[in-house]
Amino acid sequence: MPDRLQLQSAARQRLSTPTPRVFYINDDLTDDVRARYGPGSEACRLADALMNRVRREAPRVIVLTEDEQMEALVARGAHAPFTVTVGIGHAGERVARRLHARTGWFPVVERVEVARAETGRGDYTLVTGTATLAEQLAPVEGAPMLAVVDDTVFSGQTMRAILGALSPDTRARTHAFCLRAVAETLETVAALCPITAGIAAPGRILEDVSFINASGLVRRGAIRHTTRPPLAFFEREEWMRAWFPGYADEVTQLCRRLNALLEPT
C-alpha cells in the first residue's frame, strides 16, 4: 500500500510538463487585444512584445494564426451544411461560427459547456456546469447530420466524452472538426466518428508536441480546478519553465503586465 508521500509524488509526475520538441502557440490574443483596446494601447504593445518574444524561439516554437488553420481545414474537402452543430465551449462555438462564415457548413450552432479540470489528485475530470452532457446534448439527438466542433484536440478527453454521450445512431451521422490536433490523439477520436483537423502535428503528446492558446498565457481560465479559482498559464511556474526554457522569467513578466491590464480586478 503506497504511503501519502508516494501518492503525492505520483500525482506530481502525472501533472509534470516536459519541454516539447515542437511547441505550437495559437495566437488568439493579438487581434482580440487590438480590437478591444486599440492599436496604440499599452495592452496592444505588450501583446505584440509577448508574441514577438516567443517567435524568436522558432523553429521549436511555432506561432499559428487562426486564419491559416481554417484555410488548412477548408482545403481538406467540402461538406454539405450540417443540420445542427455542437460547439464545444466558447472556443468551439466561436470556431464553428467563423468557419460557417467562410463555408456555410454550420448554419445552426448549439454550444455545449464542458471543460477539463484538475482534481487535486494528479489527474483531470470533466466539468459541465449546471447540466450534464446528456441533458445538453438531448436537443441534437436524432439530427440527420451532426457536426461537433472544437478549436483543439489535444488529450481528446473532451471530444471523446461528447461523442461517447451521443447515441450510436446519432454518432453514426456525426462528423467532428478542429483547427489543430495531435495526430496520435486524432486516431482515438476517429475510432468514434470521422474527424477533420486543419493541422495535425505528429509525435507523442507533451514530449514531442504540445499546443496552447496565447490567450491562456495571460487570461485566467486556461487552468481549471474543481475546487480552486482558475489560473492563467503564467501563474503555473513549472509549465512556463518547461515551455520557455531559459527565458521563462521574461515571458512570465510580459504576461503578468498584460494580465494586469486585461483583468485588473
- For the stretch 114-165, pLDDT in tens is 999 999 888 899 999 899 999 999 999 999 999 999 999 999 999 999 999 9
Share of the chain above pLDDT 70, in %: 94
Give the number of residues written for the chain. 265
Give the SS3 label for residue 124: strand
pLDDT of amino acid 17: 83
Sorted by where each starts, the structural domains of the chain and their CATH numbers stand as 20-65+208-222+232-260 (no CATH), 66-201 (3.40.50.2020)
> pTM for the full model?
0.90
CB 200 within 8 A of CB 183: yes
Q: Kindly compute the dihedral angle of the four CA atoms of residues 208, 237, 234, 4, in this order, to the nearest 10 degrees.
A: 90
User: What's the Cα-to-Cα distance from 56 to each of 59, 69, 233, rounded to whole Å?
Assistant: 9, 21, 20
User: What's the Cα-to-Cα distance from 19 to each of 12, 111, 206, 210, 243, rounded to whole Å?
Assistant: 16, 33, 7, 9, 5
Rounded Cα–Cα distance for residues 136 and 139 (Å) = 7
pLDDT digits (tens, 9 = 90+) for 238-247: 999 999 999 9
